[in-house]
Amino acid sequence: MPRLATYLNTLGQTEEAFTFYASVFAPGAPLEIHRFAELAGGPGMPPLPAEDLDKVLHVRLELPDGHLLLGTDILASTGQQVRVGNNTTIAVLCDSREEADRYYDALAEGGSESTGMADMAWGDYWGCTLDRFSIRWMLTHQG
């Protein structure tokens, strides 16, 4: 059975936002933060300017009800922009690659802006799609 989470993208404010959300919803809860520097120069990763290396690649905050709040910094240096439609995503954390494929295929049908499912540099099997109702979904299976 998959687990749903909310995934937030900001333009360089992810750590600040998640520190704030932790103070509001889960005071004292730890933030699990990974930085772009951890993957810099790795396979499949484009070179990044020095000012992007300390930005948030991935952050995870477990809320008291078990809901996950996840996020990343959008990198303007790579041409990415934060806009309505890509700033909030529903993440589906799948138990298997097959489950991820099944949900991805169903959600992508009739949609747009689909990445396809693929193995990522950080080790997950991942894909993202905007469904036919303009809702962004991220499917992932930890490899």
**What is the amino acid identity at position 97?**
R
Which of 125-134's residues contact partners 24+ apart within 8 Å by CB, and which partners? 125/97, 125/100, 127/100, 128/89, 129/104, 130/85, 131/107, 134/85
What is the value of pTM for the model shown? 0.75
- The residues that bridge with 89 in the sheet, in sequence order, are 7
State the pLDDT at residue 96. 96
Which numeric CATH code is attached to 1-93? Answer: 3.30.720.100
Residues of the chain with CATH 3.30.720.100: 1-93
3-state helix, strand, coil in the chain (%, to 5): 25, 35, 45
Domain with CATH 3.30.720.110 in the chain: 97-143
Q: What is the mean pLDDT of residues 12-20?
A: 92
pLDDT in tens, 32-72: 999 999 987 777 777 889 999 999 999 999 988 889 999 99
CATH 3.30.720.110 correct for 97-143: yes
- Tokens encoding 17: 């936002």
pLDDT digits (tens, 9 = 90+) for 87-133: 888 999 999 999 999 999 999 999 888 999 999 988 899 999 988 87
